[in-house]
Amino acid sequence: MRVLFVCLGNICRSPLAEGLFQEKVVAAGLGGAVEVDSAGTGGWHVGAPPDRRMTATAARRGTDLSQLKARQLVRHDLDDYDHVFVMDKANLHDTLALDPDGDHGTRVRLFREFDPEPGDYQVPDPYYGGPEGFDHVFDIADRTTDAILQRLAEVYGWDLASSS
């Protein structure tokens, strides 16, 4: 089972979602069963670690992003991953543009479709804003990765009870 999170730069939102989801998968004892990664639709930051403001916010709240490195989404990802969660509607457009035949559309979903408080269904890009934007994104990604793990557990019959 492979799960991919996608944003624009792969230095703020999607690495955070990757880090949080990875940590929850391991805590649930599913580390050997679920592979987690993230990618950006844009290529500007390839090879770079996450934005230091995102890394600092995540570290303060208990999630380590320091080992992650940005990569660009490639067409092959849509074959390789079972579920692709994108952060906003531009990411959805750009991701589906790699799938001209429409074969993979059902595996590509807006991340916040699973948010219990979905707002406008998009994760705001914190890159050009102030520090509070990073905490806001953390709140969204934390509760949404919880909800996605619950949903996948229902679909695939995973027992999450052992994690608590």
Neighbours of 88 (CB within 10 A): 21
- Do residues 39 and 72 lie in contact, with contact meaning Cβ atoms separated by under 8 Å? yes
- Residue 6 in contact with ligand 4NP, rule: CB under 6 A: no
Should residue 112 be labelled a site residue for ligand 4NP when binding is judged by CB under 6 A? no
Does residue 83 bind ligand 4NP (CB under 6 A)?
Answer: no
Rounded least distance, CB 164 to ligand 4NP, Å: 30
Least separation in angstroms between residue 150's CB and ligand 4NP is 24
Residue 92 near ligand 4NP by CB under 6 A: no
**Contact characters 119-138, ligand 4NP, x per CB under 6 A:** ------x-x-----------
CA distance 121 to 111: 8
**Dihedral angle of Cα 142, 10, 74, 109, to the nearest 10 degrees:** 30
Residue 12 touching ligand 4NP (CB under 6 A): yes
For residue 125, report the phi and psi dihedrals to the nearest 5 degrees: -80, 120
The torsion of the CA quartet 84, 18, 48, 74, rounded to 10 degrees, works out to: -10
125 belongs to the catalytic site = yes
Binding site residues, ligand 4NP, CB under 6 A: 7-13, 40, 44, 125, 127
